[in-house]
Amino acid sequence: MVTYTPSVLIHGGAGSSRPTRTQLIFLEKILCRGYALVHAGQSALTIVEEMIEALEGSGLFNAGLGSLPQLDGVQRMDASIMDGKALTAGAVANLEGYLHPINAARLVMTETDHVLIIGDSAKRLARHFALKRLPRPNKPVRPRSRSRGNPPINTRTFSLYKKMGKYGTVGAVALDLQGNLAAGASTGGVSVMFPGRVGDTPLIGSGVYADNSAGAISMTGIGESIIRMGMAKWLTELMRSGFSPSRAASHVLKELVHRIHGAAGCLVLGSKGTFTIQHTTPWMAAGHWNGKGQPIVGDRFSAPRSFSPRKA
């Protein structure tokens, strides 16, 4: 007898900018697509990959087609994916010129003995497997001037992009009909970003983690703070020790804020299908569905009780 509830969760990033109606409508569409794959008996890994692939291709989020250029005007993308059954994982960082870094991340997992491949080597891997390229040449674009609304690039990077609220990442977690978990994430980083910077998204245990015995996590927010706290693995271990997804997320996010003034949002899915979506930022584009009723999509979810996000 099945003692768990197959479910899909999705996010389009967290920050100080409110998601648009178009973005939320698209998230709902992809939730429906994701659960259709659950119903068809697809693996959690395939469900997560296909949901993130759709977000990357939409151009609506800071991932894939919509990736923000770095300070030199070049789009560099990161992604990771993890299988909770075998604890296998794959990731790419600083991938240029390809539309779906999540596909490259899965190839790292399935076709190599490695977990993370970066830069030109990730690009060669994508080329070897004939992954879909970005629809336009990945040529450097001169950053916009301050007069057109872009902040001065000589401002200290970390404080600047924190104020901008551009923490965009897309991600998904899933629990399939066989009771297997998977998690993934993809990002174009942040616009005011030193070329070569890598955030939490491709780092297993920071931005993404999945383990059938505990849960599946996909993070979004200020990558540096998520890395410093080892957020995804920490959340998983709390659930393994008996914390509910909601209690685990509340505890870890409060620690993130209190100890290092970080900012993040998370999808947390337990091994039985219980879940939470929480964030310390004013807004988070996210949704969930377990096949019952209608998909739930929103721009604000639970926050740790001791922390109230500032109003946008």
Domain residues of the chain, as ranges?
7-292
Contacts with 261 (C-beta within 8 Å, 6 or more apart), sequence order: 225
What is the pTM (predicted TM-score) of this model? Answer: 0.89
> Angle, to 10 degrees, between the axis of helix 44-58 and the axis of helix 21-39?
150
Q: Which residue matches tokens 């990357």? A: 56
Per the residue annotation, which of 112, 169, 201, 220 is the catalytic one? 169
Q: Which superfamily is assigned to 7-292 in CATH?
A: (Glycosyl)asparaginase (3.60.20.30)
Hey, what amino acid is at 27? L
- Mean pLDDT in runs of 10 for the chain (312 residues)? 88 92 97 97 98 97 90 90 98 97 98 97 97 73 42 42 57 98 92 79 98 98 94 98 97 96 96 96 96 95 60 36
CA separation (Å) from 41 to 34, 45, 52, 164, 176?
Answer: 11, 12, 18, 41, 7
Distance CA(271)–CA(130), nearest Å, equals 35
Hey, what amino acid is at 13? G
The values of phi and psi at residue 300, to 5°, are -145, 135
| pLDDT at residue number 33 | 97
| pLDDT at residue number 194 | 77
155 an active-site residue? no
